[in-house]
Amino acid sequence: MGLAWGALASGDLFKAIVLFIAFGLVMALVWVRLEAPDIALAEAAIGAGLTGALLLAAFVKLRITSPNVNVDITRSLCGIRSIPVLVSILFLAMALAYAIWPLPPDAAGLGEDVAANLDRSGVSNPVTAVLLNFRSYDTLLEVMVLLLALLGAWSLGMTTPRREAAPGLVLDTLSRLLAPLLILVAAYLLWAGAHAPGGAFQAGAMLAAVGVLMLLTGWQLPAALAALPLRLVLVAGPVTFMLLAVIPLLLEGRLLQLPPAWAGCLILIIETTATISIGTTLIALFLGAAPNKEDQQ
């Protein structure tokens, strides 16, 4: 909590972002403590890693357009005007704590139900089962949300002022060594997602990390891949997911009703395509603008 306060209150924006990344790491440890390694993976990969990279990218772009970005951020609401805000926030915090206080310490969650139906889901990791079988509607929409975010970013049409410095030997070597390892670990996480913590989102984030690394060391999307192939890859995951959602609707009359016998296989297909699409979407979000052919030349 102190870390979060520091991250939000520090005068220097760069410091705030570094603190935010550290905050993500601490959150990941908290998830481990709460026996939720799935979330720890997602938080470490997506929450800390990619959000940090996105924030830094925005920070640098803001700094390039106006070098004094660090000056005007310290000007915030202060003095007498902040007291009502502080008081109402304290009041809200107490109200929230009061709302949590009477909750019974033992509540029957859905854990037993999930455990009872786990063998019909095709996977043995309960979180993956919930994500991709029992409540796959959420996950489908989540993939869509990512895609929509990308569409939003693209339609804003910010082309990034790309001024890549030469990466240098050390950075170059490091990225060349890390990229294959990252891809390997992504594939491992994807495969392990069926029976252990891991899965499409974590693996997608690892793929996105590869892309961020490569972009930072001066790699550019080949012009031939920029238009249609990129878009096809972006929609491959959602489309596969949708198809596998609609086919049961036609056959059995229920959306997203995966037949238990095939569920494991189908989940793997969905997850693989979703991983690739999520990774690509996140890379594209990091890049910020729709790549068009004129820029490439």
Q: Which of 122, 123, 153, 271 binds another protein (CB under 8 A)?
A: 153
Among 263, 266, 270, 290, binds another protein (CB under 8 A): 290
Choices 152-160, 230-238, 242-250, 251-259; region in contact with another protein by CB under 8 A: 152-160
Q: Quick one: 11 or 251, whose CB is closer to another protein? A: 11
The residue among 184 and 250 lying less far from another protein, judged by its C-beta, is: 184
Of 83, 198, 223, 263, the one binding another protein (CB under 8 A) is: 198
**DSSP helix, strand, coil percent of the chain (3-state; round to 5):** 75, 0, 25
Stretch that binds another protein, among 142-150, 228-236, 245-253, 259-267 (CB under 8 A): 142-150
Is the Cα dihedral 47, 283, 165, 12 positive or negative?
Answer: negative
CB of 225 to another protein, least distance (A): 19
End-to-end CA, the chain: 48
DSSP state of 219: -
CA distances from 122 to 157, 195, 270 (A): 42, 10, 13
Q: Are 125 and 36 in contact (CB under 8 A)?
A: no
Residue 179 CA from chain centroid, whole number: 19
**9, 21 Cβ separation under 8 angstroms:** no
- The residue within the footprint of another protein, chosen from 100, 222, 250, 297 (CB under 8 A), is 100
Binders in 218-277 for another protein, by CB under 8 A: none
Nearest approach, Cβ of residue 254 and another protein (Å): 20
Q: How far is the CB of 155 from another protein (least distance, A)?
A: 6
Interface map 58-87 toward another protein (x if CB under 8 A): xxxxxxxxx-----xx-xxx----x--xx-
Q: How far apart are CA 5 and CA 23, in angstroms?
A: 10
